[in-house]
Amino acid sequence: MRRFFVLMGIFVLAGLSSAACAKTQYRPEYVRGDLRPSFAEAQGRTRSYLKKAAIAPQDRPTGSFAAQADDLFSETLVASIQARAKRLQLLTPRETGFPEFMRNATPFAAPEALYAMAETARLQGYHHLLRATVLHVRASERKTGIWWFRKTRYFMTVAVAVDVYDTFTAAKISSHVKEKTVKIDTGDYEAYQSGVQNNITAVDKAVAGMARDLGRQAARVIRSTPWKAVVAAVNAERIELAAGRAVGLQVGDRWAVYEGRRKIEGYDGARFIVPGYKVGTIYLTAVEDATAQARADGNADIRAGDIAIPIR
């Protein structure tokens, strides 16, 4: 028995010794191979900078009732976004100053053309492009009830959608669709079928509710993206940004600049920008209404198209 306890003690000591050696000899070390931070790691500071966005015009839906729903949807959506994204200048086709490159919504349906529109947009200081659509307005009738209590009832279904695009990557970053069906009376159904414009309280309430929900989602996406500006031109030591005093830039502001020259091709000819590594730091030396001049803080390989994020 004594011999047994001696052997057990030896085994325990050996186990403790080997564990200690393992901790000493095989302690893991984490070494980062590339010290340049990537765009995904950017810790930008937005301060009080103003973001710019525009909603593309859409083809008017056929029928007076659908056009009325489209007007209500657009107006409520814009109000919902603006109420939740305070530092945002959101332009609609009806406003003065709406960008000409957005007058034609065709690029949204042509993947190969969307990149060109996004490139124009970011050079004019726009961060996001939005597309808001009333997909359809349909009336239907159904037999409801049981046995001799069955009767014909009428319903209206409205479907709407909102897409948000990031101009700095030319990618769609948010897409939401909502559909709602409400009960309507016989008179409203007959008026709709005959093409007579007629306000239906239940339908208006449904359209406005969906617009508020989609506006809330769009505003959340817009707020969550870091504030950015594109390098419009580089001339020797002079660096020009496509943003200026109108959106809050000030002399002395410092920016981290990330590579924005990598382009990839996606499905059906679509093109995108993939932001890369940090290439340098700049500080603003002069600010005009829509542009700003900057210089690099030390050596930096900064070129037109690169993406700048404020850091201080």
Domain count, the chain: 2
Q: What are phi and psi of 304, to 5 degrees?
A: -60, 135
In a domain, 246, yes or no: yes
Same domain membership, residue 147 and residue 175: yes
pLDDT in tens for each of the 312 residues of the chain?
555 444 455 444 555 455 445 444 545 555 555 577 888 777 766 668 999 999 988 766 666 777 888 889 999 999 999 999 989 999 998 888 898 888 876 777 787 788 989 999 999 999 999 999 898 888 898 877 676 667 889 999 999 999 999 999 999 999 999 999 999 988 888 888 887 767 888 999 999 999 999 999 999 999 998 899 999 999 988 999 999 999 999 999 999 999 998 889 888 888 899 999 999 999 999 999 999 999 999 888 999 999 999 986
Q: Assess if residue 65 is contained within a domain.
A: yes
Residues 220 and 295 in one domain: no
**Are 161 and 247 members of one domain?**
no
Asked if 159 and 298 count as a contact pair (C-beta separation under 8 A), the reply is: no
- 162 and 261 co-located in one domain: no
Q: What is the pLDDT of residue 156?
A: 93
Q: Where are the beta strands (DSSP E) in the chain?
A: 51-55, 88-91, 128-144, 151-166, 171-184, 229-235, 238-241, 254-258, 263-265, 271-273, 278-287, 292-296, 307-310
Asked if residue 304 and residue 190 are part of one domain, the reply reads no
Verify that 76 and 212 share a domain, yes or no.
yes
Half-sphere exposure of 59 (CA within 13 A, CB side): 8
Instruction: Looking at the structure, tell me whether residues 217 and 237 fall in a common domain.
Output: no
Does the residue 18 lie in any domain? no
Report the CATH number at residue 79.
3.40.50
pLDDT of residue 4: 45
Evaluate whether 281 touches 295 at the Cβ level (below 8 Å). Answer: no
Pick from 224, 253, 281: which residue ends a domain? 224
The C-alpha atoms of residue 11 and residue 171 are separated, in whole angstroms, by 63
Domain assignment present for 13: no
What integer pLDDT is reported at residue 24 of this predicted model? 46
State how far the Cα of 311 lies from the Cα of 168, in Å rounded to an integer: 18
Co-location of 165 and 67 in the same domain: yes
Shared-domain flag, residues 210 and 278 = no
The whole-model pTM stands at 0.83
**Could you tell me the CATH number of the domain that includes residue 263?**
2.40.10.410
Q: Can you give the pLDDT at residue 280? A: 93
Which residue segment(s) compose the domain that 275 sits in?
39-46+227-310
Q: Confirm if 277 and 300 have CB atoms less than 8 A apart.
A: no
* pLDDT of amino acid 159: 94
Residue 264, in any domain of the structure: yes
Q: Alpha-carbon dihedral of residues 242, 245, 248, 249, nearest 10 degrees?
A: 60
